[in-house]
Structure 1
Amino acid sequence: MDIEAVRTFVAVAEAGLFQEAAAELSVSQQAVSKRVAVLERALGVRLFTRTPRGAELTIDGQAFLPHARELLRAAERAEASVRPGRRPLRVDVLSSRSAQSGLMRGFHRAHPEIDLDVLMLFDLEVAVAALRSGAIDASFRAVGVPGRPLPEDLESVRVLNEPLQLLTGPAHTLANAKSVTVAQLAGQRIWMPGLTPGTEWTVYYDDLVAEFGLTIEVTGPNFGSDALLDTIADTPSLATFMGAHMRLVWPADHGLRRIPVTDPTPVYPHSLLWHRDNPHPALAALRTHLAATAADRDAAGTWAPDWATPR
């Protein structure tokens, strides 16, 4: 059913004159007559009777009028659900405990009036496809991974360099250190079973290993962060890397230590991605907020892979 024809029918019914309805709709009287005729043919009934006083509803027109008004209200609700600024801003983060999630919590505190939908998409290609289709408005990713260029219609900006920390159990040889240098980690067993081949974070750690001669083990199934923390707490020979802004909670008797890594400090490069034609007004607010809170991406004494450059 032609929604504009329905809108015109309601305008004529309320005005009582085709001419007044035409003025209200900013169209010609002839256009109003054609739209009403189209609707009458679609319904197979007469909706109006022309009289010297104007246009009067037939019995069928009177029966149809409340339904027509409901159709217009439903159409308005449908349009509002996808109209920029009316629907929630949809943002992809890697996990609920990640630094990216923390950035979004900060944005929400600064802008509680903006509705948010936070999603978690695992793969970079899936996130890129969602950005290009409009399924999401923004995504946090590491940008510039070799062999995985961003399409030209996507924009990105570095928003956070997250320092890496070493996580150890209480019996580890480095457990009491206030900080450790990258050189001190050579020969240490660093266990990260969550490194999935092909992901941007695995490419990052592969480059870290190659640059500093480290050893990262990925053996065994990945049972998630809780199981990882249990193992690190109970195994003096194992340690793992985690981001300084990663929010994790463990039992007090685990005695885990988070130790800064220095000389240089490896940082994980978080960038925000979005489609350059995305009109959602809250997207600009998010970018402004992140730009105001972003740390210096070129800080001295830090390391990131050569490919991790802002675009």
Structure 2
Amino acid sequence: MPEHAPAPPAAARRRSRSWRLALAALLSAVLGVGLGLSAADRHAARSGPEAVARGYFQALADGDAPAALAYAASPPRGQWLTSVVLRQQLQAAPLADISVLPASRAGATATVEVRYRLLFGSGPRSVTDTARLVRRGSSWWLSRVTSTVRVTAGAPGADRLRLAGRRLPAAAVALFPGALPLAADPPALQVLSDGLAAGAADQPVLRLADPPLLARVRVSMSSALRAQVERAVDRLLADCLTSGSNDPLCPAPGSDRPVPGSLRGSAPPIAAVNPRIALGQSDSGVISVRAEVPVQGSWKVWDFENQVVQRRGKVTVALSARIALDRPAQAFWNPS
């Protein structure tokens, strides 16, 4: 029978087990250091100035005001710094295509250049902004998360302007970067900024890097509203020129003592004679229309003996009408 090898001494077994435990401890320590460094790297990536700037602008793009304010070193407060207002800014122009450049650091401060696009209805606008950050401990925070704007409006129609759905405030307000949420009431009116329609590519834009913005705006009629007003006056004039009309306020030739309401005939659309269409100078909500229109037809006049005499041919009449802003399809003659 073969002989069995003698069992190793107990001391040898203990040494072997201790060596294995030591090796396992060493591997665990190395792995722990590696995992710790990986976690530190991930933390640094999340809390670095570039990541903070990107997270902030992404929160803006998502319409999440509380998330955007959470990136501030000292979160501001204000009735305009809400998700409701931010989403109105995004309705005017969604924020997209965020790009963050490497940060420029100087001790406990950093500057990050951020690029994005504002998608206005008339076309996108590329924007470059600068975010400034401060470090507290191992984390970075934005030193500023809002822009300041004061909107002034010229007459007429200033009372029709709305900022984020509210009446235009007299004082400056703090808003998030992006489009200025200006609109007119009713929407048939349009907002003009320095002669340019709001929504155009060079409409005022709010940025973190800019000083307080002064936006000068005014209200004007949209082309659709103007066309609706012209059609309403065309209908009113056509009614006057038909044989059944006897409205004494209908326009009449300006000479030869015309008989009121006697003009019959046909006229071109008033759009062809460049009418003067304007908003009222107050909050009355009235649109005034004035034009000189050629009419081909007939009319009656009183002669020097106060006898009614028929006239025929082409004559120019002066129109003066008014239309309520909230009822642009119905026109009325102004008294002479």
TM class by shorter chain equals under 0.3
TM-score, normalized by length of structure 2? Answer: 0.25
Q: Quick one: higher RCO (CA 8 Å, sep 6+), 1 or 2? A: 1
Greater C-alpha radius of gyration: 2
